[in-house]
Structure 1
Amino acid sequence: MGRVGDASGRSGGDVRWPFVVACDWNGTLVDDGDRVWEAAGAVLSRLRLPSPGRVEFFEAWCLPLTRLFEELGVPRSQLGGAVRHWNDEVSARDASLAWGVREMVEGVRSLGAGVGIVSAAAVKVIERDLARLTLTGLLDFVVGDAEPKRAALRSLKPDQPGQVAYVGDTEYDIIEARAAGVWAIGYGGGYRPGAALAAAGADHVIDRLDLLPALVRRLDGSVPSRSGAMR
């Protein structure tokens, strides 16, 4: 697990912020559907495997990446190499910032909360994107290579998981947030539709990132009400 501007800077987690918002990167803070599909196609082509169309690819999308490539036909012995190649291909392509990201970050921080990234993507991919999108230094922490994500999320506020929200665009993100005991916020503007995120157990689903500060204001001081975390 790689970290830049580590949010768990002290033993027992970081106490600088009363509330922490962690966000997924690919498909959540960056609008990069084309590049991840193209990157996967490059990986499969190199392995002489058929590449799905864009719609079929995102219907099959799942995490962790090893599971995705196994579903796409990559032999188990080649899964590690496929993931590394995918990260290289993604890093070589540009992506756009999702609409409302800067407003969201400013709004969350105006509440005194911390905001950063927890992603399964390689740190080098995230750092390159941050630099190109002029976001370097804007976020409070970056955790890349997070697999499983639940471990990284638990480390943010291990004694107060209810004071952490994780925003992601896939069912896997929701499952990992629930397993960590933190708020699971689905973002319906990414790889997977909001209905799928709700079905996966999201506590809330938003279609615009600029709506997040108002939601954080409501969540701060409460805890997720669940019969049991998904595992």
Structure 2
Amino acid sequence: MKRAVLFDLDGVLVDSRAAQLAALAGFATSALGRRVTVADLPAGAATTPRAQVLAELGLAGAINEDGWEAATATATLTAEVFPFVADTLTVLRDAGVATGIVTLRSRQRVNWLLPHDVLELIDVIVCYEDAVPKPAPDGLLLALDKLGVSPADAVFVGDMESDIHAARAAGVTPIGSGWGFSDASTLTRAGAALVLPRADDLAGALLSLTDAPGRAT
């Protein structure tokens, strides 16, 4: 039986909350022609759709994608991979567990966020342009198809309600990331089979989950 662990990217593998907020503030500053700081952003901006946040700042309508790309590229320089990521991925690989990322980021932005040594430890990456985005299950199913793993033999670690909904729709065990963008109660209400409050011994927890027979989804 081949097993797999799939991960969301932002908030799960990469500590990018500050970078996302900085991108919003930087883009708004350029577009509005006045200083907009992170403190000026609406409450919950990190987990609110980009268009909604910018509309609340007075930027309703079409977004200048070149300007957004520039703001994002600059902001992601401040994002860091969580310290546990490389070791976790290495332990999973040594145990014969396939790994993948399913993200709403474009492939270009994934390459901005992840260093080469981490990219080499990931078996498959499904990006925004590859499949209908979460909460649809398409990206998870595409990743598992590429890995040759049944949904019943996989878990998906995510930190947003859309991650949990996508996993359940795909028949994959949804695991909440308590260190990410959403709190544990939000992930539990969304249907997470388990919410890990911290990333302590993440590899061990994930190996136990992938070994467990009859995991609930």
TM over 0.5: yes
Which of 169, 173, 179 is 1:179 aligned to? 169
Contact 2:126 2:143 in 1 (8 A): no
Q: Secondary structure at the match of 1:117?
A: strand
1:119 aligns with 2:103: yes
Q: RMSD over aligned Cα, in angstroms?
A: 3.0
1:152 aligns with 2:139: yes
Which of 32, 39, 44 is 1:53 aligned to? 39
Q: Secondary structure at the match of 2:180?
A: coil
Contact 1:99 1:209 in 2 (8 A): no
Q: Which runs of 5+ in 1 are unaligned?
A: 1-16, 227-231
The residue aligned with 1:110 is 94
Which of 194, 199, 208 is 1:217 aligned to? 208
Q: Secondary structure at the match of 1:134?
A: helix
Structure number with the higher helix fraction is: 2
Closer/same/farther in 2, CA of residues 219 and 138 from structure 1, 3 Å limit: closer
Give 1:172-211 correspondences, 5 Å limit: 172-206=162-196, 207-208=198-199, 210-211=201-202
Closer/same/farther in 2, CA of residues 54 and 144 from structure 1, 3 Å limit: farther
Q: Which runs of 5+ in 2 are unaligned?
A: none
Contact 1:20 1:156 in 2 (8 A): no
Q: How many residues align?
A: 205
Q: Secondary structure at the match of 2:10?
A: coil
How far, CA to CA, are the matches of 1:27 and 1:147 in structure 2?
Answer: 21
Contact 1:116 1:139 in 2 (8 A): yes
The residue aligned with 1:91 is 73
The residue aligned with 1:12 is none
How far, CA to CA, are the matches of 1:68 and 1:219 in structure 2?
Answer: 38
The residue aligned with 1:14 is none
Normalised TM-score (structure 2): 0.78
How far, CA to CA, are the matches of 1:100 and 1:110 in structure 2?
Answer: 16
How far, CA to CA, are the matches of 2:142 and 2:178 in structure 1?
Answer: 26
Stretches (4+) displaced over 6 A: none
1:18 aligns with 2:2: yes
Contact 1:104 1:211 in 2 (8 A): yes
The residue aligned with 1:78 is 62
Identity %: 27
TM-superposition CA deviations, 1:16-48 (whole Å, max 9, x none): x81111111121111122111000112233343
Q: Secondary structure at the match of 2:12?
A: coil
How far, CA to CA, are the matches of 1:179 and 1:60 in structure 2?
Answer: 27
How far, CA to CA, are the matches of 1:167 and 1:71 in structure 2?
Answer: 31
Which of 153, 156, 167 is 1:163 aligned to? 153
The residue aligned with 2:47 is 62
The residue aligned with 1:142 is 125
Q: Following TM superposition, by how much is the alpha carbon of 1:221 offset from its aligned partner in structure 2, in angstroms?
A: 5.8
Q: Following TM superposition, by how much is the alpha carbon of 1:64 offset from its aligned partner in structure 2, in angstroms?
A: 5.8
Contact 2:164 2:190 in 1 (8 A): yes
How far, CA to CA, are the matches of 1:148 and 1:73 in structure 2?
Answer: 27
How far, CA to CA, are the matches of 1:38 and 1:30 in structure 2?
Answer: 15
Contact 1:118 1:143 in 2 (8 A): yes
Normalised TM-score (structure 1): 0.73
